């Protein structure tokens, strides 16, 4: 059974870091409702949901994907590019250790945010962004290449994280909103989508993706490709440069 690591939104969610967007009001109660609906979408598809210990002092703690990236039986604990987010990692470590995964960590001076890591087959595309530096990418490469992974650095300047701009469909096609993609040629198969919030998909199974409800034309495009599309409202997290990918860590058997 696939497993899902999630963390409830902090009561300080509205104070989260912002890089590319202007701050607008966030509705904390609506955020919790949207988060619960998001989690229920996975449960309905047979995922086991595991809640990471709450971290109310960490406004961005709900974006748990940034704290750890899982490669098979290896969990790479990230070192956040934003200093304010470095308190998120310890409670995430405890959760992945309880899953029986081997845990390694990115060390200073390296920085790596999980939102900058896109796994496609045995290739890990890693965004060279404002949050992930060259040393963090080098450390990740040293950890993964002996395990048969290829690590490819990709420039990210127009969005916060690589996965703010691109993700991948079950058939390994990378999808993105082209005005926000720095280098689409980095990916062997790339499909441009018509809406910014259509860039982020989570693969639920070989024929199903989960995505934001704020991209109906992109959802139709995916359905035309034969995919089952599950949509959820994540507006309060999108206001904070979040998306459907960063609200969870997916651990697959």
User: Which positions ≥6 away from 161 have C-beta within 8 Å?
Assistant: 66, 113, 115, 116, 127, 129, 131, 132, 246
Q: Which of 78, 161, 197, 243 is catalytic?
A: 161
Catalytic residue list contains 197 = no
3-state secondary structure of 243: coil
Q: How many CA atoms lie within 13 Å of 20's alpha carbon, on the beta-carbon side?
A: 15
Catalytic residue list contains 246 = yes
Residue 36's φ and ψ, nearest 5 degrees, are -65, -40
- How far are the Cα atoms of 19, 146, 184, 212 from residue 130, in angstroms, in the given order? 9, 27, 19, 24
3-state secondary structure of 96: helix
Burial tier of 57 (Cβ tally within 10 Å: 0-12, 13-18, 19+): exposed
Of 76, 54, 85, 44, nearest to 242 (Cα)? Answer: 85
Spatial separation of the C-alpha atoms in residues 153 and 126, rounded to whole Å: 5
Which are the catalytic amino acids?
A: 161, 246
């Amino acid at each position: 059974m696939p497993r899902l690591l999630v963390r409830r939104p902090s009561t300080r969610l509205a104070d989260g870091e912002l890089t590319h967007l202007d701050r607008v009001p966030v509705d904390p109660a609506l955020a919790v409702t949207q988060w619960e609906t998001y989690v229920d979408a996975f449960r309905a598809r047979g995922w086991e949901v595991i809640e990471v210990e709450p971290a109310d002092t960490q406004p961005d703690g709900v974006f748990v994907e940034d704290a750890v990236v899982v490669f098979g039986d290896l969990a790479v604990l990230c070192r956040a590019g934003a200093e304010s987010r470095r308190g998120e990692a310890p409670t995430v470590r405890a959760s992945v250790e309880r899953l029986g995964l081997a845990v390694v960590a990115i060390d200073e001076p390296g920085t790596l945010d999980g939102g900058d890591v896109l796994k496609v087959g045995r290739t890990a595309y890693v965004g060279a962004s404002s949050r992930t530096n060259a040393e963090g990418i080098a450390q990740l490469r040293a950890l993964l290449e002996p395990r048969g992974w290829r690590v490819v650095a990709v420039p990210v300047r127009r969005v916060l994280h690589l996965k703010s701009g691109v993700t991948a469909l079950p058939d390994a096609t990378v999808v993105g909103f082209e005005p926000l993609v720095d280098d689409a040629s980095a990916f062997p198969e790339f499909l441009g989508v018509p809406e910014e919030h259509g860039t982020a998909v989570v693969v639920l199974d070989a024929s199903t993706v989960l995505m934001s409800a704020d991209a109906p034309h992109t959802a139709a495009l995916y359905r035309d490709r034969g995919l089952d599309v599950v949509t959820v409202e994540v507006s309060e997290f999108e206001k904070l440069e979040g998306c459907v990918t960063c609200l969870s860590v997916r651990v697959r058997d």
